[in-house]
Amino acid sequence: MATRQSAIRSKCMDCCAEDATGIRCCTVVRCPLWPFRMGYKSGRNRIYYDRELYLDHLDEAQESFNRFLKEVHNNASETA
């Protein structure tokens, strides 16, 4: 029988195409397993990040990227 943490690890590995680095860099913060993806020992030394802070930065990055895409699209339209 698998432990809870090994089951979470297996699911995360499956989601990240068996790439362990992908688990650490996971951006699917809305996943219910996201806070537990890195594991922990006895409730201390947790390695995962604050979800709300991460979501704030993610939203900022998405807005910045959308502005960039709009600028690129506008520049392409002007040159065409």
Taking only the tens place, the pLDDT of each residue in 39-71 is 764 444 444 456 666 667 777 777 888 888 888
Domain count within the chain: 1
Q: Tell me, what's the pLDDT at 54?
A: 67
- Percent of all residues in the chain with a pLDDT value above 90, rounded to a whole number: 10
The Cα 23–Cα 25 span in angstroms is: 5
Overall average pLDDT of the 69-78 stretch: 85
Residue 40 is encoded by which pair of tokens? 């922990």
Nearest alpha-carbon partner for 10 in 46, 49, 50, 39: 39
Query: Containing domain of residue 51, as a range?
Result: 4-79
